[in-house]
Structure 1
Amino acid sequence: MARMTMIEAVRSAMDVSMERDETVVVFGEDVGYFGGVFRCTQGLQAKYGKTRCFDTPISESGIVGAAIGMAAYGLKPCVEIQFADYMYPAYDQITQEAARIRYRSAGDFTCPMVIRMPTGGGIFGGQTHSQSPEALFTHVCGLKVVVPSNPYDAKGLLISAIEDPDPVIFLEPKRLYNGPFDGHHERPVTPWSKHELGDVPDGHFTIPIGKAEIRRPGEAVTVIAYGTMVHVALAAVEETGIDAEVIDLRSLLPLDLDTIAQSVRKTGRCVVVHEATLTSGYGAEVAALIQEHCFYSLESPVLRVTGWDTPYPHAQEWDYFPGPARVGRALQDVMEG
């Protein structure tokens, strides 16, 4: 076991995968010699050469299009879109090609590729470096969508994603990249908080895609979150003293509905937290599923705590984020409902 940041865990996952399987290739803008804008690929080109870790032109559609072709013919590309906000030129390739190959070819071809994307805010990047577009991918049949909340999960889930026979969108919360985050503060703090899992195995291990994790057991209310918001939810529970069960989804598609339903049937109340905007956000799907599967167990309406329905506010970034205070108010409201 080693102490790793999420950046180091992501890098370790690619390193382990490339060492075990020569068909794994890594490429994207500045990922080779420079090691990526966040240094997630640092050292991989020096270790594995320029044919297995290489830079590309500034063309997201070209990066993804090339990866699809490689995947269809036997390679396992793990590509980086420098920021999730940059993926829109490649959205056609992702949704119309990568997600459809297995179905369009009647199973003759698959598309074993991973698209890594730093997501969310936390770096004062404004509207074009801070978006949370997960709902644009969970709506697309044929894709899998993963969002880790800690280094251990980041490594295990990324290795699983690279070994998966279908395309996986791997969203990496930038706010968790460079160190621990306890949910109470705007920026990461040290040492590792009790909620942050920094111990990561050095070698190969996997975490199944499609399985949520209960980060805190509780009896009074279920809180559902993913990525950075897991830590915010845990901080809110601490501050309010409410006996909440906190579920880290980890995988948005496929979704672990069994774990969610079991928890909500036990607690009778639910709050869903995510950083993306409210309207048509992923939390709406979760709330709808809870209503369908747990209606007769609910003691109050499912509440959502999210970002604002507005273009990303550069100067008001920390007000835009759901914080412990906003989550705490929702917990109080749902308990009184």
Structure 2
Amino acid sequence: MARMTMVEAIRDAHDVAMARDDRVIVFGEDVGYFGGVFRCTAGLQKKYGKSRCFDTPISESGIVGTAIGMAAYGLRPCVEMQFADYMYPAYDQIVSEAARLRYRSAGEFTCPIVVRMPTGGGIFGGQTHSQSPEALFTHVAGLKTVVPSNPRDAKGLLLAAIDDPDPVIFLEPKRLYNGQFDGHYDKPIVSWKKSELSEVDEGYAPIPLGRAKLRREGRDVTILAYGTMVHVALAAVADSGIDGEVIDLRTLMPLDIDMITASVRKTGRCVVVHEATLTSGFGAELVALVQQECFWHLEAPVARVAGWDTPYPHAQEWHYFPGPPRIAKALQAVMEA
């Protein structure tokens, strides 16, 4: 085991994948010489050369379109959108081309690309650097969507995504890149100490897509979360004193339905947490799933805690996020229902 930040773990995953398979190509805006705006690809161009790690023009549709063409010819591109907010010009390429290539060609072509995107808020990035667009991808048949919550998962899931024969959207919570985060948004990011870094498997150690992770066992209520919200949910459980079971979904599509339903059938209660806007967010799908599969086991309505139904409010960022007090209030409500 090595101790790493999430940035270091993502960089290590790239390195391992590129070393073991010369079909893996990394490119995007500033990912080559500069090593990415968050330094997730630092050193790769120097190690593997400009033909395997290179910078592109500021053209998200061009980046993804090029990756799709490379994938159709047998390469395995792993590209970076500098922020998830910038992916909209590439959305048509992702949805109309990448997601459908296997089906429209009757399996003659596949599209083994990974589109990495820093997602979410917490770094004072404002409206155009802080969005959480995961629901835009989980709705699209043919795409897989991944959101890690810690360095070990970030490396293992990225390796599995690069190996996957179909397109994977890999959303990386910026709040977790380089800072120690205890789930309380009113506290500043602090530097990691080596003793506090996450243990990450060395070498090639993929984590299969589609499997959730139990982060805390409990008997009172199931909390479904992913990415940054896993840490917030754990903080809320600690603050509230309610014995909550926290499940880190890790992969939103495909979803680990078995773990979700087993937990809710055990606890009889469920709270869904995500950072994105409430209406039509991925939490709505989770609520529908739990109601469908666990209706006769539920002791209370399934609750959602999410971002406001507003454009991202930079000036009120910390109030917009579901923090431990809001989650604790929802936990109390379902316990009293």
Q: What amino acid does structure 2 have at the position aligned with 1:111? A: C
Equivalence for 2:107:
107
4+ residue stretches of structure 1 with deviation over 3 A? Answer: 185-194
> What is residue 248 of structure 2 aligned with on the other side?
248
What 5-or-longer segments of structure 1 have no aligned partner?
none
* Counterparts of 2:189 and 2:237, CA distance in 1: 19
2:38 counterpart of 1:48: no
Compare 110-119 and 177-186 and name the one that shifted more: 177-186
What's the secondary structure of 2:180's corresponding residue?
coil
Shift of 1:73: 0.5
Matches within 5 A, 1:81-160: 81-160=81-160
| Counterparts of 1:23 and 1:193, CA distance in 2 | 34
Secondary structure of 2:71's aligned partner: helix
User: Counterparts of 2:262 and 2:197 in 1: how far apart (Å)?
Assistant: 25
Say whether residues 1:59 and 2:76 are aligned partners. no
Asked whether 1:7 is paired with 2:28, we answer: no
Cα distance 1:139–1:188, how it changes in 2: closer, same or farther (>3 A)? same
Partner of 1:268: 268
Gaps of 5+ in 2: none
Rounded Cα–Cα distance in structure 1 between residues aligned with 2:300 and 2:152 = 35
- Residue equivalent to 1:181: 181
**Could you tell me how far apart the structure 2 residues matched to 1:290 and 1:24 are?**
38
Residue of structure 2 in register with 1:326 after alignment:
326
- Partners of 1:32 and 1:45 within 8 A in 2: yes
Q: TM-score, normalised by structure 1?
A: 0.98
Matched-pair contact (CA < 8 Å) for 1:305–1:330: yes
What TM-score comes out, normalization by structure 2 length? 0.98
1:179, distance to aligned residue in structure 2 (A):
2.5
**Residues of 2 paired with 1:197 and 1:130: CA distance?**
25
Please list the CA deviations of residues 186-216 of structure 1 after superposition, one character each: whole Å capped at 9, or x if unmatched. 433466799x870012211010100000000
In structure 2, relative to structure 1, the CA distance for the partners of 1:107 and 1:171 (3 Å cut) is same
- Cα separation, 1, equivalents of 2:156 and 2:192: 23
8 Å Cα contact 2:3-2:194 kept in structure 1: no
Name the CA distance, whole Å, in 1 between partners of 2:31 and 2:55. 6
Shift of 1:123: 1.3
Structure 1: distance between partners of 2:223 and 2:143: 25
> Which residue pairs with 1:314 in the alignment?
314
Q: Secondary structure at the match of 1:202?
A: coil
**CA drift at 1:3:** 1.1
What letter corresponds to residue 98 of structure 2 in structure 1? Answer: A
Cα RMSD after superposing both structures:
1.3
Q: Secondary structure at the match of 2:127?
A: helix
Partner of 2:223: 223
Contact 2:178–2:191 (Cα < 8 Å) also in 1: no
How far apart, in 2, do the equivalents of 1:193 and 1:158 lie?
23
Say if 1:31 and 1:41, in contact at 8 Å, map to a contact too.
Answer: yes
- Which residue matches 1:301? 301
Secondary structure, aligned partner of 1:126? coil
- Cα deviation code 1:276-298 (max 9, x no counterpart): 00000000000000000000000
Sequence identity percentage:
76
Q: Which AA in structure 1 matches 2:4?
A: M
Question: Secondary structure of the equivalent of 1:316?
Answer: helix
Determine the structure 2 residue equivalent to 1:69: 69
Q: Is the contact made by 1:5 and 1:198 (CA closer than 8 Å) also made in structure 2?
A: yes
Residue 172 of structure 1 pairs with residue 172 of structure 2? yes
The whole-number CA distance in structure 1 between the counterparts of 2:119 and 2:29 is: 16
Distance in 2 separating the partners of 1:198 and 1:236: 21
